[in-house]
Amino acid sequence: MGEFELIRQYFQPLADNARQGQLILGPGDDCAIQRVPPGQDLVFSVDTLVEGVHFPPNYPPEYLGWRSLAVAVSDLAAMGADPVCFTLALSLPCAEPEWLAGYSRGLARASDAFGITLAGGDTTRGPLTLTLQVHGTVPKGMALRRSGACVGDLVCVTGPLGDAGAALDFLGSPDPTGNEQAVLARYHYPEPRLALGKALVGKASAAIDISDGLLSDLQHILDASEVGAELDADKVPLSKALVALKGREALTCALTAGDDYQLCVTIADEQLALMDLHVREQLITIGRIQAKPGLNVANTAQIGSRQGFDHFRRSD
């Protein structure tokens, strides 16, 4: 199968539901065209997934289709942006129809779920690598950044943490138990917190999506905002499945494992109090920003020095 036939068969269909309005020209020309409405900023981000580094060899392609777009779109959620379109640079060892059909099926499901349209891409032969660039928009000057946290703000997360990290132990399980299936679903099908991110625009002082682990990602907010924080480990939300599978290790997982793609946000008490109940209910307060630099975790004796996955400072 040639490059253009491959694109026509597996990827062009994803572009056919092009959103009216912002995406003016999709795949097929030298560039795509996106028109940014007046009063909006363009927000964009790129993510690369390499087989054997970011997902295991022989990972089911349909999961990969969802996951590759979800992790990229999660960055838009963290900025409070509305997704518009994405490009896909695909490096493939060979054009295997079954793999391509599975991948494009997962990708199509994710693109429908997140309201983001394929605008173009690049297809080459090489080790399996996926690079997705996502574009979104946000009202001018309103994107949520890492740098706005203020002393006294609450530190909140948007859901249970650690499940996706725990799932790594069970990716190869031939017959996973109910609890194993529950954490595996979190790994295979992360749900970027798009609606919540948008609801926090103009209200939260800082935000980040948790891709490397709570401690290491919150530290990015603290560094950018030049503040410190105190967390209460007892408040960190843990799923029943995680506690059942990991026991005393569940908290370590929640603090240091990545891949959950919940948000970590900072927000002033009075802003939180003003939010709609259904938004407030999704924000779990786990600590507070303080002037003293550093990150203090109270109510834990079991946290070692490992602070999440860092490609260039990994010691384990």
What Å distances lie between residue 32 and 120, 136, 155, CA to CA? 6, 14, 39
Residue 193's Cβ-side half-sphere holds a number of Cα atoms within 13 Å equal to: 26
Among 2, 20, 30, 305, binds Mg ion (CB under 5 A): 30
Q: Which does 90 bind (CB under 5 to 8 A by kind): Mg ion, ligand ADP, none?
A: ligand ADP
Nearest approach in angstroms of CB 35 to Mg ion is 21
Single-letter code of the amino acid located at 137: T
> What x/- string results for residues 110 through 149 when contact with ligand ADP is judged by CB under 6 A?
--------x-xxxx--------------------------
- Identity of the residue, 30 or 98, whose beta carbon is nearer to Mg ion in the bound complex: 30
Q: Which of these, 298, 270, 268, lies nearest to 286 by C-alpha position?
A: 298
Q: Is 106 in the site for ligand ADP (CB under 6 A)?
A: no
Q: Which does 27 bind (CB under 5 to 8 A by kind): Mg ion, ligand ADP, none?
A: ligand ADP
Q: Are 294 and 215 in contact (CB under 8 A)?
A: no
Q: Which residue is nearest to Mg ion (CB)?
A: 30
Q: Which of these, 189, 307, 214, lies nearest to 265 by C-alpha position?
A: 214
Strand partners, 124: 91
Give phi and psi for 11, each to the nearest 5: -115, -35
Q: Are 180 and 245 in contact (CB under 8 A)?
A: yes
Rounded Cα gap, residues 261 and 189, in angstroms = 10
In sequence order, the 6+-apart residues with CB closer than 8 A to the CB of 45 are 72, 75, 76, 133, 134
Residues between 50 and 89 with contacts to ligand ADP, criterion CB under 6 A: 88
- Identity of the residue, 130 or 154, whose beta carbon is nearer to ligand ADP in the bound complex: 130
Among 20, 30, 172, 304, binds ligand ADP (CB under 6 A): 30
Q: Which does 175 bind (CB under 5 to 8 A by kind): ligand ADP, Mg ion, none?
A: none
Q: Is 250 in the site for ligand ADP (CB under 6 A)?
A: no
Q: Is 29 in the site for Mg ion (CB under 5 A)?
A: no
Residues that bind ligand ADP (CB under 6 A): 7, 11, 27-30, 88, 90, 118, 120-123
Residues that bind Mg ion (CB under 5 A): 30
